[in-house]
Amino acid sequence: MPLYTDIPTRPEIDSLWQADAPVAVSIYLETAPASSGEAERIAYKNAVREALAQLGNAGKEDLAGLAEELDVLDDEEFWRHQARSLAVFACPSALRSFRLPNRLKPAVVTGTRFFVKPLMRALTFPQAAFVLALAQGSVRLLEAVPDAPPREVRVPDMPTDVASAVGKSSIKDRAPVRRLQGTEGQKLRMAQFARRVDSALRGVLPGQGVPLVLAATEPLDSIFRAHCGYPDLVPRSVHGNPEGRGDAELVAQAREVLDGWYADRLAEEKRTFADRSELGRTSVDVAELALFATRGAVETLFVDIDAMVPGEVDEFGEVTFSAEGPGSVVDEIMRRAWLSGARLLAVRRDDVPGGGDVAGTLRYAPTA
């Protein structure tokens, strides 16, 4: 069962966070790839009713336009092709949806801005991945998602092996190839093979932050990396010859590689935070970070994905906290930091330095 995903790009996130509509609806739903889609479709209709009820005091024209946009997804074919979560953002004049590989909590949020924060989890740690099993005698691309069997992805124009990719009966053919023979000739043919594989993958891989894990042995591993143009090729590999190993085994090992890579990246970010702390270039205070984000001073922002801090942030970055309400200080800090070019890490609370709602490294040390 394929996993249909739409990982948002940075420009798409920019558009969502820059939107300032008279009424805006954000809906997050749990979905299942193997489902017929009927249960999810019903859950969506219930969420739409809840959203319109929340906006009962809005203008009639705005509500009518919003209802029309939300009704666009009342399509059986759409609901049959889902991932693990669905995020829907609608205003009276537009609707955008993303099918996500991450499991996100259901939510219905209304206001004048979109509730984008949960979407950032899919950008921080994408749970979908591809695995390229590459050997001299075979190639296959697998789609890997949690809690689902691997699926081999058909790749048009993919070469089947090194020898056929370069028009030889055997890679060990010792006929001169540009005056190169033996080991040097074999490496040259592997490079030609790697370029053809990379070219074929370009028409299939999404190029939107979805990792590609390589399963290969040397020297093919290093040769492919030297010629691969995919920006999200994971620097670690599944070691050993992938030939003769089942898809499930390769994907399980690729998941271990991916988890280790994510853990290393997060550990490195925490070390950087500690280093910046010694220079006075960090903060774990919500009110301070609201000011810094407004001034464009935030370099990297850690955010507890479940944090909700009711309140408002004014145009100067001053925070007014409240006991409850539709506004979220943390969401606004994220929005301003992102639009100023900061890197956002949507993590669990235990991974936020200081264990609070937010933490950030700064581009410069604040003056007294």
Q: Are 50 and 148 contained in the same domain?
A: no
301: closest CA among 261, 368, 353? 353
Q: Are 257 and 297 contained in the same domain?
A: no
Instruction: List the CATH number of the domain containing 204.
Output: 3.30.420
Q: Does residue 226 fall inside a structural domain?
A: yes
Q: Are 185 and 100 contained in the same domain?
A: no
Distance CA 25, CA 52 (A): 9
Q: Does residue 254 fall inside a structural domain?
A: yes
Range of the domain at 104: 10-124
Q: Does residue 178 fall inside a structural domain?
A: yes
pTM over 0.75: yes
- Residue 123, pLDDT score: 82
Q: Does residue 299 fall inside a structural domain?
A: yes
Distance CA 72, CA 311 (A): 33
- Residue 139, pLDDT score: 96
> How far is C-alpha 342 from the chain's CA centre?
16
Q: Are 153 and 252 contained in the same domain?
A: yes
For residue 360, count other CB atoms closer than 10 A to its CB: 30
Q: Are 157 and 238 contained in the same domain?
A: yes
Q: Does residue 291 fall inside a structural domain?
A: yes
Place of tokens 């944090």: 307
Q: Are 75 and 140 contained in the same domain?
A: no
Q: Does residue 274 fall inside a structural domain?
A: no
Distance CA 93, CA 207 (A): 28
Q: Are 36 and 158 contained in the same domain?
A: no
Q: Are 258 and 155 contained in the same domain?
A: yes
Residue that terminates a domain, selected from 124, 144, 169: 124
Q: Are 209 and 242 contained in the same domain?
A: yes
Residue that terminates a domain, selected from 213, 231, 263: 263
Strands 282-283 and 24-30 turn out to be: unpaired
Distance CA 237, CA 132 (A): 10
Q: Are 197 and 310 contained in the same domain?
A: no
Instruction: List the CATH number of the domain containing 339.
Output: 3.30.1330.30
Distance CA 61, CA 304 (A): 37
- Residue 1, pLDDT score: 44
In the chain, how many H helices and how many E strands?
11, 15
Strands 85-91 and 24-30 turn out to be: antiparallel
- Residue 171, pLDDT score: 46
Q: Does residue 245 fall inside a structural domain?
A: yes
Residue that terminates a domain, selected from 124, 152, 177: 124
Q: Are 104 and 76 contained in the same domain?
A: yes
DSSP secondary structure string, 59-98? -HHHHHHHHHHHGGG--HHHHTS--SEEEEEEETTEEEEE
- Residue 338, pLDDT score: 95
Q: Does residue 308 fall inside a structural domain?
A: yes
**Total domains in the fold of the chain:** 3
Instruction: From first to last of the 368 residues of the chain, give the pLDDT tens digit.
Output: 455 777 788 889 999 999 988 999 999 999 988 888 999 999 999 999 999 999 988 899 999 999 999 999 988 889 988 888 999 999 999 999 999 888 888 999 998 889 998 888 878 887 788 999 999 999 999 988 776 788 899 999 999 988 887 765 454 554 444 444 557 778 899 999 999 999 999 888 866 678 999 999 999 999 999 999 999 999 999 999 999 899 999 999 999 999 999 999 999 999 999 999 999 999 999 999 999 999 999 999 999 988 889 899 999 999 999 887 666 899 999 999 999 999 999 999 999 999 999 999 999 998 75
Q: Are 108 and 232 contained in the same domain?
A: no
Strands 129-135 and 212-215 turn out to be: parallel
Helices (H), 149-285: 162-165, 182-201, 220-227, 247-278
Instruction: List the CATH number of the domain containing 96.
Output: 3.30.960.10
